[in-house]
Amino acid sequence: MFDSKVYRNRRKKLCDNLGSGYVLLLGHHNSPMNFSHNPYPFVQDTNFLYYVGINLPYCACIIDIEKNITTLYMDNKTIHDIIWIGKTKSAESWGDDCGAEKIKSMKDLSKDLNKKSNIMFPPIFRSENKIQISELLNISLNEVEKKSSVSLINAIIKQRSIKSTEEIDEIKSALKITNIMHQLAMKKSRPGKYEYEIVANMEELIKQNNLNLAYPIIFTTNGQILHNSIYTNKINDGDLLLNDSGANSKLHYASDITRTFPANGKFTNKQKNIYLIVKEMQEVVLKELKPGVNFKEMHKLSAYIGIKRLNELGLLKGSCEESLEKGVYGLFYPHGLGHMLGLDVHDMESLGEDYVGYSEKIKRDAEFGISFLRLGKKLENGFCITVEPGIYFIPELFNQWKNEKKHSHLINYDKFNQFMDFGGIRIEDNIHITKNGSENLSSHIPKEIDEIESLMA
C-alpha cells in the first residue's frame, strides 16, 4: 500500500468535490471457480483500491462527506480462518494503514446504512456486489444499476484521471517488467514453436517477479483478431506475431503494450511497408499530444495517415479526405486509437466508458471505425493513456464490404485481396500527458525495425 496519507488525501479531495452525503464503497468478494472454497485469483474493486488500498476480500467503507470521516468495515479472522488460511493483520491495523477514522465489523454495515440517507455508490458490475447492495439498501436488483450516483461517478473520474507522481512511478515500474517480457517473447519466438510456449515464457517471468498480468496475454499469429486469447497455433516461417501484454505493478497499476514482429526475426518487404505505416500513424499522434488536444481528432489523424499511405500502395484509391469522412478506415482500423490507463487497463471502465472518455461537448460517434473509440475528449495534464493504432486484414470483414460493393470508388478490392493472409499489426505505447506535452513511458521497449531484427538475430 501507499502511505496512509495518500488514501486520506484522496478521500479528502473526494469529500471536497462532493459536498454532502455518504459514499458507500464495497470491496470485492472471492469469486468461486467451481465451488466456493476454490476461488479465482482475487482482484479488488479499483475504486476501493484507490480510496482505501486494502487488497483483501470482504471489506467495505462508508465515507461521511461533510465530516470527512471514513469507517472501514472489516472482520478479524476467526479461529476457523486461522486454521485454514492462517493469521493476518488485525482489522485495526488495516484501518491504520488506510488512515480510516473508525473500524467496525461487517455485520454493522447494514444497520449503519439504515440510519443514513443520501447514500451514493458507483456502478456495480459483479453479481455478488449487486446482491449485496440490493440487500444493504433495500432496493430491488434491477434498480441497482439505475441508482448508482452520477455525481459520484463524475467526482471519481475527475480525480482518478489525473495521475500523481507516485501513480506514474507505479506504471513505470510495471513497464520495466513489461519491457523484459516483450523482449523475451521476441527472443524466444521462432518458426516451429507454438504460441502457448511463448505465452508460458512470459507468464513465468511475471510469476518469478511475484507480479500479475494486467489482463490476459494476447499473443497470436492471427493479429487481425483484435483480442485473440487462444494460443494453439503453430508459429510458421513468414508469420507476424502480435504481442499485446502488460504487467501490473506491485500496487496494481497496469501497463498495456503491443508490439508486432516477424516470427523468423526478419521483416519481409511487404511486412515492413505496413509496419512503417502503423508506426507513422502512431508517431504523428505522439508529436501532437499535450493538454487541450482533442483525442477524437487524434484518432482521425492516425486514420488519415493510414488512408494516405495505403492509397500510395494502391490498396485504396480516390480522395483521402473522402475516405476519412466516409469512414473507409474502418475496413483496416476498426478499433479506437487509445484509452485511459491506471488501476484498470481500461481505466475506470466500470464507471461507464462515455463518462470516462467523453464530455458534454465531445460525444461518441456512432459510425463503424470510430464507434469503438474509448477516449475521445480533450486531454488534460496528468492523464495517462495508450496510443495504439493498427492495420488489420480481416477476411470476413473484407468479404462483407466487397460483396456490398461498399465505397468501391475508394477501395481497390483486387489489390486489398492480396493481403488477406497478412494478419494484423498494432503498435501500442503508454503516454503520460504533462504540462507542456507528453512523456512516452514505454519508449524503451523495442519498436524500430532494426532494433527488433538485431534483438531476434
What are the residues binding Mn ion (CB under 5 A)? 256, 386
For residue 15, the surrounding DSSP H or E stretch is helix 4-18
CA dist 117 → 114, 122, 317, 341, 416 (Å): 8, 16, 62, 34, 61
Smallest distance from the beta carbon of 426 to Mn ion, in angstroms? 9
Which is nearer to Mn ion, 72 or 174 (by Cβ)? 174
Smallest distance from the beta carbon of 216 to Mn ion, in angstroms? 13
Look at the block and give the residue holding cell 467451481: 34
Smallest distance from the beta carbon of 386 to Mn ion, in angstroms? 4
DSSP label of 45:
-
Smallest distance from the beta carbon of 388 to Mn ion, in angstroms? 5
Smallest distance from the beta carbon of 456 to Mn ion, in angstroms? 24
Which is nearer to Mn ion, 46 or 386 (by Cβ)? 386
Which is nearer to Mn ion, 240 or 340 (by Cβ)? 340
Short-list 52, 98, 256, CA closest to 171: 256
Helix (H), strand (E), coil (C) string for 214-226 = CCCCEEECCCCCC
Which is nearer to Mn ion, 189 or 430 (by Cβ)? 430
Which is nearer to Mn ion, 45 or 256 (by Cβ)? 256
Smallest distance from the beta carbon of 128 to Mn ion, in angstroms? 28
Query: Residues 255, 175: contact at Cβ < 8 Å?
Result: yes
Q: Which amino acid belongs to residue 455? A: L
On the 0-12 / 13-18 / 19+ scale of CB atoms within 10 A, 269 is exposed
Smallest distance from the beta carbon of 256 to Mn ion, in angstroms? 4
Which is nearer to Mn ion, 59 or 257 (by Cβ)? 257
Q: Are strands 424-426 and 390-392 parallel, antiparallel or unpaired?
A: antiparallel
Strand partners, 69: 64
Q: Are strands 119-120 and 22-26 parallel, antiparallel or unpaired?
A: parallel
The C-alpha R_g of the chain, in whole angstroms, comes to 24
Which is nearer to Mn ion, 97 or 256 (by Cβ)? 256
Which is nearer to Mn ion, 71 or 255 (by Cβ)? 255
Smallest distance from the beta carbon of 212 to Mn ion, in angstroms? 17
Short-list 71, 57, 59, 56, CA closest to 11: 71
